Structure 1
């Protein structure tokens, strides 16, 4: 199928959404109505996603579905929230989508297959961290690759990734990206007009086969289904998906003993110490109370602070081009963690923390969890974040991806 029209990004999102609605989503729904027994195992987030993200590249356009793999119902009145990201000026669409740089690897570029399920690709640095922390690569059926220096989308070909896990590193440790469902379609760009680019979008050449496959598809789950952990993770996802949820509700949920595995898996910790109140020993200042101390394999703890999934200001980056900076909201969060780090520069404070709460802290990593991936995952954000050497900012989606990667391992 082919559509050809000169578009703005908003127009592009509407066109792509309408193409999928008419030719794919509505067809899936019709089959589920006709054969209701298929609903039991149907991948429900294809029709009831939390969000759909469209990507524009140089040779392909993509659609990623973000949602709960264990959703129990399908609502015909579900409204799809859509975002479109333009990477048409970037060199590698999949690298930009994943947010993981494989270019420093010494191995060859991998030609991405037409269909990839349970694809696992760590960088060499990520692999070292994973082995150190006892990752169980034999725990699931997977397609695994090592030392790949990137992925090449084959021009004119359709690609699909289902339940792919991609691992990289940054200055604070392991980075995980779980792609639940990503379809990549060919496109052509006519940029002869200096003012407007014209896109030609394509869908599946074998649309009927794809629809029949997808309506019967069983989404892959861990070989050993860990019911209680899945239940808790689902409750966490539901909690952060509500605009009425407060920061204390999030931290109280994670502090419960049965839910602390989320923090341990996400940050590779051995012990969780929630909300330890720490008085200053040599200064007259208000006591600090970080959300969590997470003890690592070396016996020392890092600091994790949770902010809301929905940022107060939708624009997390402000300023003119080439003079961008984080918004005042983000700066205030960073300043709060800076006070925490300053507290532990005083040996008297460190001694007090260990004596009162049993935590050893020295030059801790400061980890801020806030927002969702689609709010912060932009080239401008990544450039700014790189300037903050002593702080790590994670989205809630990154936390969930890390937990999922453990449950599948």
Structure 2
């Protein structure tokens, strides 16, 4: 990680992402708290999170747009646009303005997909192939560290002062990110190439994911695991209440424990990718979630702490493995579409599982559901592990991806063959 941070260009990008991620981390939980405060409704507060996730359905379109422009100016524009999108929150006063929070949450979710897609391309452009895992690991470490303090800090600022200061702080974070990347000197040409025209280029990211063996296995294994991983968002409350017999506020303590595990996982992720390959790192992360969930089926505090540390370690391993794999196995011209599509294919099932888990925990014993989560995620991890030879350790360069021929190329080739036939 220190090697990639010695690069002046990546240091600037890293500083910009610290500001952007800090803005994101203080805002997400606070929006739900804001709705709860205005309406008194838990379900309306939960709908705020759904509003952020719902734009995942537009991921292919977002990726297509990202791939048509140079990464650096697009990243600057996306952060400035995030500032504009947040500004209506300054008008929120009472229950009648809740629709403004929902609208901003949805637009913010769309902005988040855009920033992720363009960031993957910018990292690929700035960082050599052998340092991609280090770059992704550094950013995941920051993300996990901010998860420790960001949401609580945002909720605290809202409780102490109100939403207006929270909005201004988030806007300042995105402005700083745009300004810092503005200092970055990155020579880029305007993207061109096959598949960029509407509507044929829209599904190119999905076609690439389906056609590349390592990416296909990654999305199938991780996607299946994501179908149950979201259950834990609701199960953890039942675990604290029925299992540990503690107040719901104790969930915050357990989330902090998980955040510590996330920091450890972020620091180790690049080394794991180098030792096991991208699919090996992804498999390790998903598999770690299995025994963690199984341990939570037996409510003991010491075991729960160990389980949540392990679950925390698993998240950055999966994300660094997946993002590095996408960057190395995707042509630059497709990277925005493939990143957006891969995020949708993982986050979509996870969003569904969050809602499903909230329903199931009221019907079934939470311990049985933890066993289900542990079994399915372990199975998904083993499926990924069996395919680890598709990305062997030490293969640092991007895989050779054949350029698809256009129909005109096929016609010319056929004509040439006819002329050569006696």
Fold agreement, TM-score > 0.5? no
Give TM class, smaller chain: under 0.3
Larger proportion of strand: 1
TM-score (norm 1): 0.26
Identify the structure with the greater helix proportion. Answer: 2
TM value normalised by structure 2: 0.25
Larger relative contact order (Cα-Cα within 8 Å, sequence gap ≥ 6): 2
